[in-house]
Amino acid sequence: MVLERRARPRLRRPRRLETSELTPLTALACTALLARAAADTGAPDGLHHLLLGGPDLGALLADDARVALVSATGSVRMGRAVAPRVAARFGRTLLELGGNNAAVVAPSADLDLAVRGIVFAAAGTAGQRCTSLRRLLVHEDVADCLLPRIADAYRGLTVGDPFADATLVGPLVHRAAHDAMDEALAAARRDGGTVLAGGEACLTGEAPDAAYVRPALVRMDRQTTVVRTETFAPILYALTYRTLDEAIALNNAVPQGLSASVFTRDQREAERFLAADGSDCGITNVNIGTSGAEVGGAFGGEKGTGGGRESGSDAWRGYMRRATNTVNYSDALPLAQGVTFL
């Protein structure tokens, strides 16, 4: 009798590298919540351990043969450093890296719905989530109607204290992120782009040590290097297209492949975008923004995003090891190919 078992990994084996060294308080808060949940459910002690540190600590975990799986969330640069080190010792990686996510707005789109979905996906959390909307691909027939509406919405966004109910846009994580946003906007202008709204610093008097900025909407006439590069800040580059095939090509013409969406009321357009030769992203949505990831769906992407998957019905498989067990309950032992030697 041959049994194939998905064996439980030992508790010491899985590790997850996700928390940025820039946000230790968030890590501590999440750890406290997890500890409370574990205590309420009777989970064994030592199920979860929090290690706070920078790249040196990450390198130690990547190199340690006792860590069977390194699941890492971060930049493409981080993934390129981690993956070869883990592979060199035949360990496994599950990588969730960069995202340069695009939304396509077709001529048939419900523009009221599209404006809400686009603004939230691009400006929510100050553009600091891997599924934030970075590129807007608008059909040329609706661009002159849609873009001013988005610009007006950007001008009306409340930027400030993230604990306040009316605030949609809080601060960038640090001053370096603000500098990177300024550099990207300067590069976009050099490439012929026009800033339609936003980009200016906010609350410089009230919070001089923080990095508050109004989300920026930039119209581009082509997908330049800065557009194809993920800037972890609230910049939305808007381009126009003529055919759906052109929009799909623009969507796919970046190194990352995490999330994409299409706003359309034409079922054929939606199915074309979802097809195997449509969007090349791990997450593709219809009539919602790119940030609409659901806990029940597999989360992750292709190409420079790393190819790993978290969440979803079978995400647990990545943390398990397969084992094939053959059990002989008889007193006979037939050999392969009818071999006999005793």
Count of structural domains, the chain: 2
Q: What is the CATH number of the domain that holds 51?
A: 3.40.605.10
Question: Which among 157, 258, 173, 239 has a CA at the least distance from the CA of 209?
Answer: 173
| 54 and 167 belong to one structural domain | no
Residues 6+ apart with CB under 8 A from 106: 139, 244, 247, 262, 263, 264, 266, 269
Residue 68 covered by a domain: yes
139 found inside a domain? yes
Handedness of CA 88, 91, 94, 96 (dihedral sign): negative
**Residue 82 and residue 197 in one domain:** no
Give catalytic residue positions. 96, 130
What CATH number did the domain enclosing 162 receive? 3.40.309.10
Question: Which pLDDT score is estimated for 337?
Answer: 85
27 and 105 in a single domain? The answer is no
Whether 91 and 140 map to the same domain: the answer is: no
User: Is residue 138 included in any domain, yes or no?
Assistant: yes
In this prediction, residue 317 carries a pLDDT of 85
Give yes or no: residues 142 and 248 share one domain. Answer: yes
Question: Does residue 248 share a domain with residue 185?
Answer: yes
Predicted confidence at residue 19, as pLDDT, reads 65
Judgement on whether residues 52 and 111 belong to the same structural domain of the protein: no
Assigned domain for 14 exists: yes
Flag whether 294 is in a domain.
no
> Is there a single domain that holds both residue 108 and residue 129?
yes
In a domain, 106, yes or no: yes
Kindly state whether residues 75 and 112 are assigned to the same domain.
Answer: no
SS3 per-residue string spanning the chain? CEEEEEECCCCCCEEEECCCCCCHHHHHHHHHHHHHHHHHHCCCCCCCCCCCCCHHHHHHHHHCCCCCEEEEECCHHHHHHHHHHHHHCCCEEEEECCCCEEEEECCCCCHHHHHHHHHHHHHHHHHCCCCCEEEEEEECCCHHHHHHHHHHHHHCCCECCCCCCCCCECCECCHHHHHHHHHHHHHHHHCCCEEEECCCEECCCCCCCCEEECCEEEECCCCCHHHHCCCCCCEEEEEEECCHHHHHHHHHCCCEECEEEEECCCHHHHHHHHCCCCCCCCEEEECCCCCCCCCCCCECCEECCCCCCECCCCHHHHHCEEEEEECCCCCCCCCHHHCCCC
Q: Are residues 202 and 105 in the same domain?
A: yes
What is residue 11's predicted lDDT score, i.e. its pLDDT? 35
Q: What is the pLDDT of residue 13?
A: 41
> Are 10 and 24 in the same domain?
yes
> pTM for the whole thing?
0.88
Q: Which domain holds residue 256?
A: 101-286
| Ranges of the chain whose pLDDT falls below 50 | 1-18
Domain shared by 106 and 161, yes or no: yes
Residue 248 lies in a domain: yes
User: How far is CA 292 from each of CA 12, 32, 118, 155, 258, rounded to the nearest angstrom?
Assistant: 33, 26, 11, 23, 12
The answer to whether position 152 is within a domain reads yes
